Amino acid sequence: MRACGRLLRRGLHRRRRADFVSAAEQPLSTLSADADTASYANLRRLVRSGAGLGTIDPGAVRIEEMLNYFDYDYAAPAEGEDFALTARAGACPWNAESELVVLGLTEGQAVAEAPPTNLVLLVDVSGSMGDAEKLPLLKESMARIVKGLRAEDRVSIVTYSGVEEVVLKGASGDDAEAILGAINGLEAAGSTNGEAGLSMAYRVAEETHIDGGVNRIVMASDGDLNVGISSEDELNAFVSEKRGQGTYLSVLGFGSGNYQDAKMETLADHGNGSYHYIDSADEAARVYERFLAAGAVPVADDVKLQVEFDPRMAESYRPIGYANRTMADEDFRNDRADAGELCAGAELTVAYEVVLTDEGRRREGDEPWLTCAVRHQPAGERAGEAPAEQRFAVGRESWFAEPGDDWSLAAAVVEFGMLARDSEFVGTVTADDAAALAESSASSLDTTDRAARRELADLIRQASRNAAFDGVVAAS
């Protein structure tokens, strides 16, 4: 069982440690938005396959993606505003000396009529995709997704292995027979030349481009690129160069074993898209509905957040997650600095662990403890407008003895992430503590949200049991 933990480390990158930062010396914390959710679904797959707390590579546990997997009840923006910020804070459940601050950003544009979508499916059909949880699951997932397409949408399918091929080009979205026929005919064989496949997909996307529409490549792969460009730096440069043609690149990850998590993440990050892991056809449908369907229209590009802590109130802080999304403070208003994209109605969650000063603990006065600025480049119907910026003040009204279900959910997710990573910041918290928080967060929700949060509680307990079993086997 210990060998399993070592095998999980293959192809995953190390994360930078997020230490506490002095608010007096460095009051600004600047982050790029991140709508990825892959880490939670991948972690779910690992735990269900027997991985336990402490056996999972820290690089696979990206807490920001775990936080953003879930739905929250955040406030909607006021009329005429692009974003709203919901802030909640309370005593940190794993550290009595600090506070947990959860910032929930909501994009509120209503899309009256979704523009047509030009969808290019880039499918890895190399030999490594032959496993049941890869190409067969991909086919099942695509069958679910096709049901949501419309006549005005265009669908192309490009495959790559040792040879790249355009299997379908510019089909009407309501031609399910042609689309499903092309998908069901795919077979896995050969090596993996992702560079050639990506080049062809971008070329097809350009040839089928819809003016005023959403032009998106969806790459489905296990990330095992072993021919052509394969290093992360080269992939970054290649995709960044292509980004300028106005096509978004989203990435769907499949499978295990030789799964290359880092490459998949870096492709989406530099392709102005999002990264998701597919462990079931249900998850594929969920990802499609939230991030790829007609209503998921990109409305904000290069979204950046800059949190400023008042050193009179905050002694120190640390961002939880977002290690790959930290930006230089001066790049907040540098409009050439790339950042994440958000679709209409998107939610984004950011968490900080904060140590308050004596004045901050007294929570007196009306001065804000922190401010959060959000800057973005309008996209979609507003493409070409000047960058927009909003500022939000967070004061004592955000601190509660009982901060609510959404705060409890975020706390449970953070605790699970820290336990899975075997983080030095986890304190005395246990898996039972984290599971109880997750269950308590589901108390007043509808069936769908309640089920997702209870699944989180079950997953935490299963990861704990797996770790205990792993220890028994290792000791025997």
- Any idea where the domains of the chain sit in the sequence? 16-46+60-111+298-475, 117-292
Q: What is the largest CA-CA distance in the chain?
A: 67
Please give the share of the chain, as a percent, with pLDDT higher than 90.
62
pLDDT, tens only, 69-78? 999 999 999 9
DSSP summary character for residue 292: I
390-412, pLDDT tens digit by residue? 999 998 888 876 789 999 999 99
DSSP alpha helix (H) spans, 124-219? 135-146, 176-184, 194-207
- Tens of pLDDT along 346-377? 999 999 999 999 998 887 777 899 999 999 99
By mean pLDDT, which of 79-88, 99-108, 169-178, 281-290 is the weakest?
281-290
The residues, any chain, with a CB within 8 Å of residue 110's CB and separated by 6 or more, are 344, 345
Query: Does the domain made of 16-46+60-111+298-475 have the CATH classification 2.60.40.1230?
Result: yes
Sheet hosting strand 347-356, strand order edge to edge:
21-22, 314-320, 347-356, 99-107, 83-91
- Which of the following CATH numbers is that of domain 117-292: 3.40.50.410, 3.30.70.870, 3.30.559.10, 3.40.50.620? 3.40.50.410
CA distances from residue 455 to 57, 152, 275, 320 in whole angstroms, order as listed: 22, 37, 21, 22
- The label of the residue with tokens 């930078």 reads 16
**pLDDT-derived band of residue 446, with 50, 70 and 90 as boundaries?**
low
Q: Could you tell me which residue, 166 or 476, shows the higher pLDDT? A: 166
Read off the pLDDT band of 15 (50, 70, 90). Answer: very low
CA separation, residue 189 to residues 92, 166, 186, 230 (Å): 51, 16, 10, 19
The answer to whether the CB of 168 falls within 8 A of the CB of 178 is yes
Burial (Cβ within 10 Å: 0-12, 13-18, ≥19) of residue 14: exposed
**For residue 43, which amino acid is it?**
L
The pTM (predicted TM-score) of the whole model is: 0.90
* pLDDT reported for residue 230: 58
Name the most confidently modeled range: 111-120, 200-209, 262-271: 200-209
- Mean pLDDT score of the chain, rounded to an integer? 87
- pLDDT tens track for 218-234: 999 887 765 455 566 77
